[in-house]
Structure 1
Amino acid sequence: MEMEFTKGNKGCDTMEGSQREEGCRPDEELDDACGGDSMNGVSDEYPSDYAYVFGLSEQDIIRKVFRSEERAYDFYSKFGRCHGFGVRKGDYGKDEEGNLIRRRFFCNRAGLRDEKHLNRLDRKRGHRPETRTNCLAKLSIYLDRENSTWKVRKVILDHNHELTPRRMVHMIPKFRRISDAAKANIDGMRGYGVSTSKILGYMAGVAGGYSLLGFTKKDAYNYIDHMRRAKVVNGDSNAAIVYLEGKAAADPMSMARYNVTKDGMLANMFWADGPCRVDYQYFGDVVAFDSTYKKNKYQRPLVIFSGSNNHKQTTIFGFGLVLDETIESYTWMLENLLEVMCNKQPSVVVTDGDDAMIAAVKKVFPEATHRLCAWHLQKNVTSNGGEQMFREIFCKWLYADMEVDDFELEWEEASEKFGLHKKCWANQMYEKRHMWCNAYLRGKFCAGYRTTSRCEGINSHIKGFLNSRHSILELVQNLELVVREYRNNELVAQFNSIYSTPVLTTCLDPIERCAADVYTRAIFVLVKKEIDGVGAVNFVSKRRVSTTMV
């Protein structure tokens, strides 16, 4: 089946001289009346509304009055944060009319774990570490109906466990929260492919330390994982397809193709946006592709189609994700590349020595010259050829400008000397000589492609954008960032070619000036070498032979 579409809170770390010099507030003052009270000796790292909770005794708290039950809970939370314990809401009572009239707040280590969870025989995972100690610390409040205020009935300040040091209070679950600003910061940097560890390092540096972030690394990873799951709630493949459909709606020239297996799972996928298709029409005479990169959640081979533009830079024509590295998968990929690119056939295709690739290229691009990557061939010779002398000769065959007859003669001599007739890999290389020997390829325009090193360079570059845990949707989105950088490099090179004029240094000024106007800066450097070579020719004499001037 095939388918197509074209359309933080600061933590309480330190406190010096933490006793409040003023007395507690009178009974008649409400809880928010002194939210801005000052306190001598309190560190500037504390929020100002935390100052009044330091140094309060049991009697001070008993005399407190609150406007609402939530105000009381907020006070006890601040009290707990600044003294090293978490707070949770406990039981409550209501009157006959259903109105809340009493409430209790406990230390978060109150109670004990139910024994039935400890004695299970079918447990597979290890026990979580115990955090509850049956602590009795609490704050009990009741509603004063006459004044419509909440008053303290009982408070217990003693704990049966060690209080958390202030430098670690930010790790208590109750006091951890990722603010909306922090979420936006994380989402923004994640959208550009920045790793989570670097994001947290940057945010901690801005905040003044990890303790002042208001959340832990685990919270951040949980949030990112939650957002990732939310994006692919209906399936990873489906999410990627829906995303590409949205891109096609915004850019009518964007196209994507995919097919599915008999089980309805995603098999192969190819996609290219409008600028990629335009670039192919200009620079698609030489196409290189490689599929050695499998850095995604499903270990699917990622195929990158690339070429060389008029600035001698790498340009990307499209991406593909194949089910496996078979002839069928590569054939499907190349056929869809050809159809999406308006059936423009490349003149030269550069790949590594994979047999499935060779068969697919021969089937889909029968008229194209298929060139094998010289770097991969040299690597194979290094592992198979034991003689250093033979490796040097083979390197000469790859790159030297020589005639076909000379190569054939040298191959026969090397076969006798190194026993190549008895080696299977050598016989296979000789059968493929039309795809790697420069004697057979020197008349073909390859745009500087002798190896798939540009593909390897792309693979190396996108390591900063992809990792093995990425879903297909994240893979597609992050590859867009890679393409954006390559296009910016092309834009900079184009600007330099338009904005600046090279200095003329040869003796053939008219020719050099014309070349400077016609060619980009990168190509002009190559043309200038030819002009220098012509300028070095010395005139000796001339004579006429019939109608020919010599």
Structure 2
Amino acid sequence: MVGKSFNTLEEADSFYYDYAHTIGFSVRKDVMRRSTKTDVISERQWCCSGKGKRRMMENIITLPPKHTHSKDVMRRSTKTDVISERQWCCSGKGKRRMMENIVTLPPNRWCLARLRVVYCPVMMRYRVTRFEAEHNHKLIPNTYSHLLRSRRNCMPSHVAHVMALRKVSVPTCHTYEYMMDQAGGYVNVGFRAKDLYNKLDATRREIMFEGDTEAALAYLNGKCDGDPRFFCRFSVDEDNRLCNLFWRDSTALIDYGCFGDVLLFDSTYNTNCYEKPLVLFVGCSNHLSSVVFGCALLMDETIELYTWVLETFLSSMDGKQPKAVLTDGDQAMRSALERVLPGCPHRLCSWHIGKNVTANIKCPKLSKVFRRLMWDQLTPHQFETRWASMIEEHSPTNAGWFATMYKKLERWAETYCRGYFFAKMRSTQCCEGTNWYVKDYLKRGIKLVELVPIIYRAHCRLRNRLKELDYDSINSTHVLTTQLRELEKHAANTYTDNVFYLVWK
């Protein structure tokens, strides 16, 4: 080997790495010297990764802890079984054993195997000046050569492939299995799954070099450049840290102008590492499907913060107010709605009411009577009569809960909700469905800079579904089955498919 020459350093590097993988050891770069006149690398050396020696640990002396008390002596009478003597002492009492010298034996270190090349200006090539082939440790068999550190290399293309698949909810472990299948086995992949996770983590840290919040706001600012009607507003605390964030795009503004008569207002958890509630403003489209009007991240669920986000939402929608609002049973939400939208019809989610019924009413017969009161279309007089009869007949033990529900019956009983337009919605399931779309992309502990683009992609997914429904309604023809053919044909041409089936029934 001494005297052999290479055209470039890359050629020498590739040669020694291939040689090491064939023989069965791992390589790392060692010495490099550069010419001060020509700035050309004049000397380069590669060595076995076994080169070096671990430091030997010195004597370790553990000092006694701070002055605290602990229980010491206790004697108990053998006749009466009563404690006859008790002693407490300082926890510093006694003497701890000093650990002996801990010597870590170097696992076959100081391996001298190496390759050194020096640049020859006359030949304009790199010439081998030293080559050590002997190792003082066992070499790796060919069966394990693909696990050598110097052979494992996770390329940027692999990371880009994983990131692209993660956007459509494909886990990293499944992507690695796919790469293994395409390569023809684990031996041919070129890296381990742990290497891929480490590379992804490093890439993730590079993305957030400016800070999580700054990067997320920079992403939203980028949206503003391409969308003149994009709206974003945030607030900070005394330490200039992000507290609350609201945003919506121009498509949401158009959707709210078309479908903003009924507003669903709900929050969800465990979407980010800061445990900020994700608030969604959702409506019902002309296909009876979910449509998102805006999103917000709040510091906490208080009346003041809900008031802030509602006022910000209405301000972003040019002041247009909904005709009805549907929420869950959160008291802070209800108080904020009374502040911002006084007199607006407000209905509580029937699904949450049903869960409360199951939790508070243990009698199946009483639960059935209560549910009928919630759903039956009665007059106010009939409702009051049945309610009084239910209380008198069953004498519920949980009278406090029944009294609380009676105070807000105008928000959950079908009797008192009739006459208001709620777009055929009785629960916040549209919000729950939207949350499902969002959470399909999320994992617990996600950063803010990752959360905002994921929410945007989830909204794009919902909007694409709306376009598909539009296409199907425009390009489909219903089979007329009733005797009122002209009326049925007019309804088929006027309504969307979902609404037509609703009217047809």
Specify if TM > 0.5. Answer: yes
Aligned pair partner of 2:264 in 280, 288, 301: 288
Pairing of 1:230-249 with structure 2 (within 5 A):
230-249=206-225
**Cα offset, 1:450, TM superposition:** 0.8
Q: Indicate the residue corresponding to 1:3 in structure 2.
A: none
Mapped partners of 2:142, 2:266: distance in 1: 55
**Cα offset, 1:284, TM superposition:** 1.0
Kindly indicate whether the alpha-carbon contact (under 8 Å) linking 1:421 and 1:427 is maintained by their aligned counterparts in 2. Answer: no
Q: Indicate the residue corresponding to 1:77 in structure 2.
A: 17
Q: Indicate the residue corresponding to 2:353 in structure 1.
A: 377
Judging changes above 3 Å, is the alpha-carbon distance between structure 1 residues 208 and 508 closer, same or farther for their aligned structure 2 residues?
same
1:35-88, CA deviations, whole angstroms, 9 ceiling, x for partnerless residues? xxxxxxxxxxxxxxxxxxxxxxxxxx4574434555333312110012221112
Kindly indicate whether the alpha-carbon contact (under 8 Å) linking 1:253 and 1:273 is maintained by their aligned counterparts in 2. Answer: yes
Kindly indicate whether the alpha-carbon contact (under 8 Å) linking 1:415 and 1:421 is maintained by their aligned counterparts in 2. Answer: no
Kindly indicate whether the alpha-carbon contact (under 8 Å) linking 1:192 and 1:478 is maintained by their aligned counterparts in 2. Answer: no
Q: Indicate the residue corresponding to 2:479 in structure 1.
A: 503
**Cα offset, 1:153, TM superposition:** 5.1
Judging changes above 3 Å, is the alpha-carbon distance between structure 1 residues 150 and 276 closer, same or farther for their aligned structure 2 residues?
closer
Kindly indicate whether the alpha-carbon contact (under 8 Å) linking 2:289 and 2:430 is maintained by their aligned counterparts in 1. Answer: no
- Matched residues, number: 464
Q: Indicate the residue corresponding to 1:114 in structure 2.
A: 55
1:198-227, CA deviations, whole angstroms, 9 ceiling, x for partnerless residues? 332333332223432323323322332233
**Cα offset, 1:317, TM superposition:** 0.9
Judging changes above 3 Å, is the alpha-carbon distance between structure 1 residues 165 and 347 closer, same or farther for their aligned structure 2 residues?
farther
Kindly indicate whether the alpha-carbon contact (under 8 Å) linking 1:293 and 1:459 is maintained by their aligned counterparts in 2. Answer: no
TM-score scaled by structure 2?
0.84
Q: Indicate the residue corresponding to 1:12 in structure 2.
A: none
Kindly indicate whether the alpha-carbon contact (under 8 Å) linking 1:399 and 1:438 is maintained by their aligned counterparts in 2. Answer: yes
Mapped partners of 1:128, 1:217: distance in 2: 30
Unpaired segments of 5 or more residues in structure 1? 1-60, 530-550
**Cα offset, 1:136, TM superposition:** 2.8
- 2:461 equivalent to 1:485: yes
Q: Indicate the residue corresponding to 1:179 in structure 2.
A: 155
Judging changes above 3 Å, is the alpha-carbon distance between structure 1 residues 114 and 273 closer, same or farther for their aligned structure 2 residues?
same
1:469-494, CA deviations, whole angstroms, 9 ceiling, x for partnerless residues? 21112111001111111111111111
Judging changes above 3 Å, is the alpha-carbon distance between structure 1 residues 369 and 166 closer, same or farther for their aligned structure 2 residues?
farther
Mapped partners of 2:42, 2:339: distance in 1: 82
Aligned pair partner of 1:219 in 191, 195, 219: 195
Judging changes above 3 Å, is the alpha-carbon distance between structure 1 residues 304 and 132 closer, same or farther for their aligned structure 2 residues?
farther
Mapped partners of 1:287, 1:455: distance in 2: 10
Aligned pair partner of 2:499 in 523, 536, 541: 523
One-letter amino acid matched to 2:333: M
Match of 2:426, SS state, is coil
Match of 2:490, SS state, is helix
Judging changes above 3 Å, is the alpha-carbon distance between structure 1 residues 108 and 271 closer, same or farther for their aligned structure 2 residues?
same
Q: Indicate the residue corresponding to 1:90 in structure 2.
A: 30
1:458-511, CA deviations, whole angstroms, 9 ceiling, x for partnerless residues? 222222211122111211100111111111111111111111111111101111
Mapped partners of 1:408, 1:350: distance in 2: 24
Kindly indicate whether the alpha-carbon contact (under 8 Å) linking 1:186 and 1:199 is maintained by their aligned counterparts in 2. Answer: yes
Aligned pair partner of 2:184 in 198, 208, 213: 208
Judging changes above 3 Å, is the alpha-carbon distance between structure 1 residues 385 and 496 closer, same or farther for their aligned structure 2 residues?
same
1:8-57, CA deviations, whole angstroms, 9 ceiling, x for partnerless residues? xxxxxxxxxxxxxxxxxxxxxxxxxxxxxxxxxxxxxxxxxxxxxxxxxx
Mapped partners of 1:519, 1:100: distance in 2: 75
Q: Indicate the residue corresponding to 1:362 in structure 2.
A: 338
**Farther-moved stretch of structure 1 (413-422 vs 92-101):** 92-101
**Cα offset, 1:427, TM superposition:** 1.1
Pairing of 1:405-424 with structure 2 (within 5 A):
405-420=381-396, 423-424=399-400
Aligned pair partner of 2:250 in 274, 288, 298: 274
**Farther-moved stretch of structure 1 (151-160 vs 328-337):** 151-160
Q: Indicate the residue corresponding to 1:105 in structure 2.
A: 46
Match of 1:115, SS state, is coil
1:126-172, CA deviations, whole angstroms, 9 ceiling, x for partnerless residues? x9997763223233556678756555555443333332343433333
Pairwise CA RMSD = 2.9
Mapped partners of 2:61, 2:159: distance in 1: 42
